[in-house]
Structure 1
Amino acid sequence: MIKVKDLHVYYGVIEAVKGVSFEVPEGKIISLIGSNGAGKTSTLNALLNRVKRKGEVIFSGFHTDKHKTHTLVQHGIALVPEGRRVFINLTVEENLRMGAFNNDENYEHLKEAMFELFPRIKEKRHQMGGTLSGGEQQMLAISRALMSEPKVLMLDEPSLGLAPKVIGEVFATIERLKKEGITILLVEQNAFAALKISDYAYVMENGHIVMEDVAASLVGNDEVRKKYLGG
């Protein structure tokens, strides 16, 4: 579904991503793992043309380099950004409507689907986004992205700052979305949690992909265990 070839990302003269290549097959959960500053977030932003980049990104057979971010969202790529970034001065329902900016005719149906997926945000639907807990904001951020009915959902550090119980709920939801046919590209510092639900994973260091394998095999890899899984 997504093929990335020799991707470079630049911030001025600084090269944050240095020629990475990877694939995200349809219907799979693919993870990018690695320490902070490895280039994972920059890679996600490059797939939506939110940063200066070079290289080839092919999504569902077409080249994305000349498309603006909102056009790529309309074609079926959605991003849940690091830190959630919900609209704190809008209600839960208003946040969801913002996510359906290109899909307004299906808003009511999609909203009810999100309330079924996350009953907790249904209870808070009239509250401002800024009054929600971290876990509830993450549920809202995922729901807002799903309102565009994406083919590929990219999640950037969805477990960041959440309690262990809530992390379990979020990752269970990611697995459910896969079963419903959504392809997932997951960036996550919690490598064990990511690998546990992923089909395949890439390890990034200093802007490079230094290792890749079936996720279950990486869990058993000694080097990965020492660096990213706490030994």
Structure 2
Amino acid sequence: MLKIDNLHAFYGKSHVLHGVSFEVQAGEIVALLGRNGSGRSTTARAIMGLVDCQGTVLWNDQHIAQKKPYQIAHLGIGYVPENRDIFPKLTVQQNLLLGQKGNGQGSRWSFDDMYAMFPRLKEREHTEAGVLSGGEQQMLTLCRTLMGDPDLIIIDEPTEGLAPKIVELVGQYLQTLKARGISVLLIEQKLTIAMDISDRVLVMGHGRIVFSGTPQALRDDVYTRKEWLEV
């Protein structure tokens, strides 16, 4: 489905990713872990065509490394950035509507699906998004991305700054995506949620993948956790 091979990424003269390689298969949740500055968010941005990069990015056997972000999105990759990027002056309903491709016909997801997953958004349906709480804005961003009916969703730090109950909701949401056949690349710092819901975990350090395996393999790998994850 998604295959990254020998990916290098740059911010100007700064060389951030150094030969990153991994895959995400259909219906799989893969967690990309690592400390701040390890290259996780840059990896997401490189996949989406938002930073200069070299190497191979294959999506369903199609090369996408040189495509524009909107072209990549229309191919079926959704992206939820860390800063959420809601439209503050538009209502919840209007934000969701902007996420649709075309008229939304044939999509696996509807407004009712979004409101069933997050009833709080239904209550705030006609409220401007800018006055929502941080947790509500995160729910809205996730749902707006889903309205575009992606086959893979890349989510950067979805639980950052959220209350424990909302973190639990986000975990349930991601498992719902998997049940619907959607692949997830989860960029996360909270090991608990990542280890609980992921099929595989990757650990990044200094712009490279330093570990790839199952959650249990990472639990058993004391050296990797101490060297690359624990503060």
TM-score (norm 2): 0.94
The residue correspondences of 1:24-103 to structure 2 (distance < 5 A) are 24-100=24-100, 102-103=101-102
Amino-acid identity (%): 39
| Residue 149 (structure 1) aligns with | 149
CA distance in 1, matches of 2:115, 2:139: 10
| Residue 188 (structure 1) aligns with | 188
- Report if the CA contact (8 A) 2:27-2:178 is conserved: yes
Long gaps (5+) in structure 1: none
The Cα of 1:16 is off from its aligned counterpart by: 1.0
- Report if the CA contact (8 A) 2:96-2:147 is conserved: yes
- Report if the CA contact (8 A) 2:35-2:229 is conserved: no
Per-residue CA distance 1:29-58 (angstroms, 9 max, x = gap):
001100001000000011111110000000
The Cα of 1:221 is off from its aligned counterpart by: 1.8
Structure 1 residues 230, 207: closer, same or farther in 2, change over 3 A? closer
- Report if the CA contact (8 A) 1:191-1:228 is conserved: no
| Residue 13 (structure 1) aligns with | 13
Give SS of 2:110's match: helix
The Cα of 1:229 is off from its aligned counterpart by: 6.6
RMSD after superposition: 1.6
For residue 212 of structure 2, what is the amino acid of its counterpart? E
- Report if the CA contact (8 A) 1:5-1:57 is conserved: yes
For residue 61 of structure 2, what is the amino acid of its counterpart? G
| Residue 128 (structure 1) aligns with | 128
Per-residue CA distance 1:136-190 (angstroms, 9 max, x = gap):
1111000000011000011000010001111111111101110111100000011
CA distance in 2, matches of 1:10, 1:228: 22
- Report if the CA contact (8 A) 1:95-1:144 is conserved: yes
Aligned residue-pair number: 229
CA distance in 1, matches of 2:222, 2:216: 13
The Cα of 1:83 is off from its aligned counterpart by: 2.4
The Cα of 1:227 is off from its aligned counterpart by: 4.9
Per-residue CA distance 1:172-214 (angstroms, 9 max, x = gap):
1101110111100000011232121101111001101111111
TM-score (norm 1): 0.94
For residue 145 of structure 2, what is the amino acid of its counterpart? A
| Residue 211 (structure 2) aligns with | 211
CA distance in 1, matches of 2:86, 2:215: 31
The Cα of 1:78 is off from its aligned counterpart by: 0.4
Segments of 4+ in structure 1 off by > 6 A? none
- Report if the CA contact (8 A) 1:18-1:207 is conserved: yes
For residue 203 of structure 1, what is the amino acid of its counterpart? V
- Report if the CA contact (8 A) 1:192-1:229 is conserved: no
Long gaps (5+) in structure 2: none
For residue 198 of structure 2, what is the amino acid of its counterpart? S
The Cα of 1:72 is off from its aligned counterpart by: 1.1
- Report if the CA contact (8 A) 1:121-1:140 is conserved: yes
Per-residue CA distance 1:55-85 (angstroms, 9 max, x = gap):
0000011110232111111110000110222
For residue 12 of structure 2, what is the amino acid of its counterpart? G
- Report if the CA contact (8 A) 1:196-1:216 is conserved: no
Give SS of 1:21's match: strand
CA distance in 2, matches of 1:110, 1:219: 38
